[in-house]
């Protein structure tokens, strides 16, 4: 069914907002990277080794892609809806980690920490909940949550065991294998809970945008 003109106009507005938000987050990340580069040696592997920074970058890129599709009144393909679901769950995990395990602003300005750890995750969650341009996420595809955070954990723990660098104190090698394993399981459990909320919310109609069964490819 072709969307009504008012609905199409509304979704184009949503698309534009997503484009602006995605671009704003990338700008904040780049400005913060340049600002802290003098002290940290402009090392992108360290900067984007932080789950917050890397996940925010990926989520912003996904928002831009979804927003561009919305501006042309095109629905997102299945792989992009999947990516948006995973990004939303991971951004919720960012908020949980920040508020539960590592509160504080670190070296970033307070407004940057608030934006990346609270505002952006909240907007991503509201976007998923309120904008109904996504079909229900199939529960058999719940496994797609795992590859990205598991790969991030493997890389970070490998770095901690080799060059000693980890982004968060709760992953320091000196805590011991057992403690780190329990922490990793706790993080994955929190991600699973966030993902379950995202998968459940995908079954709600949303307040704007027609529901569609996107083609999975």
CA 174 to chain centre: 29
The total domain count for the chain is 1
- Whether residue 213 is contained in a domain is answered as no
- Whether residue 103 is contained in a domain is answered as yes
Q: What pLDDT, on the 0 to 100 scale, is given for residue 115? A: 95
What is the tens place of the pLDDT at every residue in 21-30? 999 999 999 9
Q: What pLDDT, on the 0 to 100 scale, is given for residue 100? A: 76
Looking at mean pLDDT, say which of 71-75, 113-117, 205-209 comes out highest.
Answer: 113-117
- Which is nearest to 192 in space by CA: 133, 135, 149, 130? 149
What is the tens place of the pLDDT at every residue in 19-70? 999 999 999 999 999 887 766 667 899 999 999 999 999 999 999 999 998 8
Phi, psi of 131 (to 5 degrees): -85, 120
Tokens 């709600």: give the residue.
204
Q: What pLDDT, on the 0 to 100 scale, is given for residue 72? A: 82
Residue 216 has pLDDT above 50, yes or no: no
Q: What pLDDT, on the 0 to 100 scale, is given for residue 6? A: 42
CA distance 215 to 79: 8
User: 208: exposed, middle or buried (C-beta count within 10 Å: 0-12, 13-18, 19+)?
Assistant: middle
- Whether residue 166 is contained in a domain is answered as yes
Q: What pLDDT, on the 0 to 100 scale, is given for residue 104? A: 58
- Whether residue 113 is contained in a domain is answered as yes
Tell me the residue range of the domain where 106 lies.
5-201
What is the tens place of the pLDDT at every residue in 176-202? 999 999 999 999 999 999 999 999 999
- Whether residue 151 is contained in a domain is answered as yes
Helix (H, G, I), strand (E, B) or coil at 213: coil
| Helix axis angle, 5-40 to 51-71, nearest 10° | 150
- Whether residue 216 is contained in a domain is answered as no
- Whether residue 84 is contained in a domain is answered as yes
- Whether residue 24 is contained in a domain is answered as yes
CA distance 37 to 45: 12
């Amino acid at each position: 069914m072709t969307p009504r003109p008012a609905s199409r106009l509304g979704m184009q507005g949503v698309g534009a907002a997503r484009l602006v938000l995605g671009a704003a987050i990338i700008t904040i990340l780049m400005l913060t990277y340049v600002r802290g580069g003098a002290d940290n040696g402009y090392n992108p592997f360290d900067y984007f080794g932080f789950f917050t920074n890397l996940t925010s970058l990926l989520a912003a890129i996904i928002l831009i892609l979804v927003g561009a599709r919305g501006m042309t009144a095109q629905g997102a393909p299945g792989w992009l809806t999947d990516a948006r679901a995973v990004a939303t769950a991971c951004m919720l995990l960012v908020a949980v980690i920040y508020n539960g395990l590592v509160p504080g602003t670190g070296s970033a300005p307070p407004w940057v920490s608030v934006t990346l750890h609270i505002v952006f995750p909240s907007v991503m969650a509201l976007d998923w909940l309120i904008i109904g341009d996504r079909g229900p996420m199939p529960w058999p595809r719940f496994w797609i949550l795992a590859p990205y955070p598991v790969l991030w954990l493997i890389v970070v723990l490998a770095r901690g065991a080799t060059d000693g660098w980890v982004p968060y104190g709760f992953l320091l090698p000196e805590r011991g294998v057992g403690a780190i394993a329990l922490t990793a399981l706790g993080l994955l459990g929190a991600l699973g809970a966030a993902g379950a909320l995202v998968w459940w919310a995908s079954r709600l109609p949303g307040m704007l945008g027609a529901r569609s069964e996107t083609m999975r490819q």
